[in-house]
Structure 1
Amino acid sequence: MNRKAKAVWQGTGKDGTGHLTTDSGVLSATPYSFKTRFENEKGTNPEELIAAAHAGCFTMALAFQLQGAGFTPTELATEAVVSLDPEGAGFKISKSALTLSAKVPGIDKAKFEELARLAEKNCPVSKVLNAEITMNFALG
């Protein structure tokens, strides 16, 4: 399986602008720039997209772990915070912090944590990130 996205950039790094488009159409000429990455201008940035990918991948992986163990969640809500830090003359994505809120009838905390840790370690996005990954959860 292959998934594609395209980036088009015009101008310099700081003053230029670009847009991102995915084959699915979810992103269609979505703007990104220095200001959307390092300031708060409307648009997206690579770190936000990685955070969305990590949150989505982990949450789906956990749903499969729970299903395999005989549990059906009523809700899994994950926030991922991706940290971009200076490194040498550039930057590095240093961390992805997952925060999960879960409602899973009939599961105890120890079993839930075991399955959540498996999902954290084994989702494909976790495997591709060269960064520290943390996971905190609340089971309600």
Structure 2
Amino acid sequence: MIRSASAHWTGGGKDGTGSISSESGVLKEAPYGFNARFGDGRGTNPEELIGAAHAGCFTMALAFRLAKEGLTAESLDTTAKVAMEKEGEGFRIARVALTLRAKVPGTDEATFKALAEEAKAGCPVSKLLKAEITLETHFEG
């Protein structure tokens, strides 16, 4: 299975503008730029999208892990806070802090925490943050 998304950019780093789109159409030319990423400007940014992807992936992985134990969540609410820090001349994503509020009848806290840790480790987005990344370029000079 392959899913795709795309980005378009024009202009410089601080004064340029861009848009992000997804294959599903959920994102269709969603604006992003310097002020949306590093300030309070309108639009989205890569870190916000990584946070949304991680929160969604982890929460679904946990629902599947609970089901494997015969448990069904009444509610699972996850927030992902993505921290970006200065590193040399650029930046790096330093960490993602997941916060989960859950109501799961039929289990105890220790069992639930263990299942949540398994879901965190097994979630494909958690694994992505450690994955090999490849790049293919096509230059039109």
Give the structure 2 partner of residue 96 of structure 1.
Answer: 96
Give the drift of 1:83: 0.4
Give per-residue Cα distances to partners, 1:79-120, cap 9 Å, x unaligned: 000000000110000000000000001110111011000001
Match of 2:47 in 1: 47
Structure with larger Rg: 2
The Cα shift of 1:56 comes to 0.2
Q: Distance in 1 between matches of 2:47 and 2:2?
A: 21
The TM-score with structure 2 as length reference comes to 0.91
Q: Please state whether the residue corresponding to 2:100 is helix, strand or coil.
A: strand
How much is the aligned-residue C-alpha RMSD, in angstroms?
Answer: 0.6
* TM-score, normalised with respect to structure 1: 0.92
Matched residue type, 1:37: R
Q: How far 1:42 moved relative to its partner? A: 1.4
Residue in structure 1 matched with residue 68 of structure 2 by the alignment: 68
2:8 matches 1:8: yes
Letter in 2 for 1:97: A
Residue 36 of structure 2 aligns to a residue whose secondary structure is helix
SS at match of 2:110: helix
Aligned to 2:135: none
Work out the percentage of aligned pairs sharing the same amino acid: 58
Task: Say if 2:25 is the partner of 1:21.
Answer: no
Does 1 or 2 have the higher relative contact order (CA < 8 Å, sep 6+)? 1
User: In the TM superposition, what whole-angstrom CA distance separates every residue of 1:57-91 from its partner, at most 9, and x where no partner exists?
Assistant: 00000000000001000100000000000001100
1:75-114 residue pairs with structure 2 within 5 A? 75-114=75-114
Give distance in 2, aligned partners of 1:86 and 1:128: 21
Using the alignment, how far apart are the partners of 1:89 and 1:41 within structure 2? 23
Unaligned runs of 5+ in 2: 131-141
Deviation at 1:128, TM superposition (A): 1.2
Query: Number of residue pairs matched?
Result: 130
Q: 1 CA distance for matches of 2:65 and 2:26?
A: 27
